[in-house]
Structure 1
Amino acid sequence: MNELSANEFYEKASSQTLSVIDVREPDEFAAGHIAGSFNLPLSQLADRYAMLDQTKAHYIICQKGGRSARACEFLENHGYQVTNVQGGLEAYPAEGID
């Protein structure tokens, strides 16, 4: 599985537009998320993953990194290009969160 630290991801996201999928639940997402990220809760992933563009690379994030790792494993098994953001939002610089 491809992985980036939250700081490496922050630097990359600061210089280019990325497809960021937040797999936390809607209430967690509403409490704060990365600007421009898309909320696709892990609990709904198996039913809704086909809506993701399979030709794009996606960066998957959650609160601490566990749910995003599971989401990455699932999406990789279905042919998607994904990278797990290690440490999740807890490790992400605060100025990058809305």
Structure 2
Amino acid sequence: MKVITASEVEALVKSNTPIHMIDVREEEEAAEGMIPNAKNIPLGIIEDKLDNLDKSKEYIIICRSGNRSSMAASILENNGYNVRNMTGGMLNYKGKTV
């Protein structure tokens, strides 16, 4: 599984690089602060939302600590998606949130 650090994601966000992010935390957790432009799709329903994702794009998968995002990344990889897991999750992300 490919990974990316929280500081690398922060640098991409700051540089306005177009990236696609999926935050797999529960809605209540995500409401406490998400990386701008990330899409919230809780881990429990990610398989139901596969048709809404584009296999030609790379997705950065995010959660609180990196565990759920790792599980989601595996599910997506097994279904042919190009993903990177943000290691350390939002606990390590120091950038702006919305």
With the length of structure 2 as denominator, give the TM-score of the two structures.
Answer: 0.94
Paired-residue identity, %: 38
Partner of 1:65: 66
| Matched residue, 2:2 | 2
CA distance in 2, matches of 1:53, 1:87: 25
TM-superposition CA deviations, 1:38-84 (whole Å, max 9, x none): 00000101111221111100000000000000000010000000000
Let me know the Cα RMSD of the aligned residues: 0.9
Corresponding residue for residue 49 of structure 1: 50
Deviation of the 1:12 alpha carbon: 2.0
Secondary structure of 2:31's counterpart equals: helix
Post-superposition shift, 1:14?
1.9
Q: Counterpart in 1 of 2:85?
A: 84
> Which whole-Å CA distance do the structure 1 matches of 2:58 and 2:81 have between them?
7
Give the structure with the higher percent helix.
1
Q: Is 2:47 the partner of 1:32?
A: no
The offset of 1:24, in angstroms, is: 0.4
Kindly tell me the number of residue pairs found equivalent between the two proteins.
Answer: 97
Alpha-carbon separation, structure 2, partners of 1:68 and 1:49: 15
**CA apart distance, 1:13:** 2.4
1:56 is aligned with what amino acid? K
Q: Distance in 2 between matches of 1:9 and 1:83?
A: 11
